[in-house]
Amino acid sequence: MDHLAKLKRAELRVKQIKKFYKHLRVFVIVNVLLLIVKFRAHDFFAGQGMSDEGFLTWLDWNIIGTPVIWSLVLGVHAFHVFVMKSQSIKAYTPKFFKDWEERQIEKFMNEEENIQD
């Protein structure tokens, strides 16, 4: 295997891992801030005499829902980087889909030739 190709793949892997850790850093920082906002918001609204339980429930679900959904996305990102080793999803496409795609391309190219003749 060509040394230059190995080097390029290794550089790409390192780049993808760095992107994941940056994503993880942003996730932690934003979610710590969300927790701080959650506790402060409850204190603020309670201090203002806000007694609308529906609003406080809505606030809780939105502040808690964001990290839950984001953690699922982060998990998919981690799976892509560390398990799939940053390979394209096309690398895992079943052969019959690839064959079908090639047959369709050939079919449309033949149709194009027949129209021009």
What predicted TM-score, i.e. pTM, was given to this entire model?
0.67
What is the model's pLDDT at position 117? 60
User: Rounded to an integer, what distance in angstroms lies between the CA atom of residue 95 and that of residue 84?
Assistant: 18
Residue tagged 């892997």 (tokens)? 13
What is the model's pLDDT at position 47? 72
The structure tokens listed for 90 are: 């096309």
What is the model's pLDDT at position 1? 63
pLDDT at 102 over 70: yes
Give 21-74 pLDDT, tens digit per residue: 999 999 999 999 988 888 887 777 777 777 777 877 887 788 888 999 999 999
> For residue 67, how far is the Cα from the chain centroid?
14
User: Rounded to an integer, what distance in angstroms lies between the CA atom of residue 36 and that of residue 70?
Assistant: 17
For CA atoms 89, 92, 94, 100, give the dihedral sign: positive
pLDDT at 18 over 70: yes
SS3 assignment, position 84: coil
| 101-112 burial: b if 16+ Cβ within 10 Å, else e | eeeeeeeeeeee
- Reading phi first (left if > 0) and then psi (alpha if -120 to 50, else beta), residue 49 is in left
Give 90-101 pLDDT, tens digit per residue: 777 777 787 888
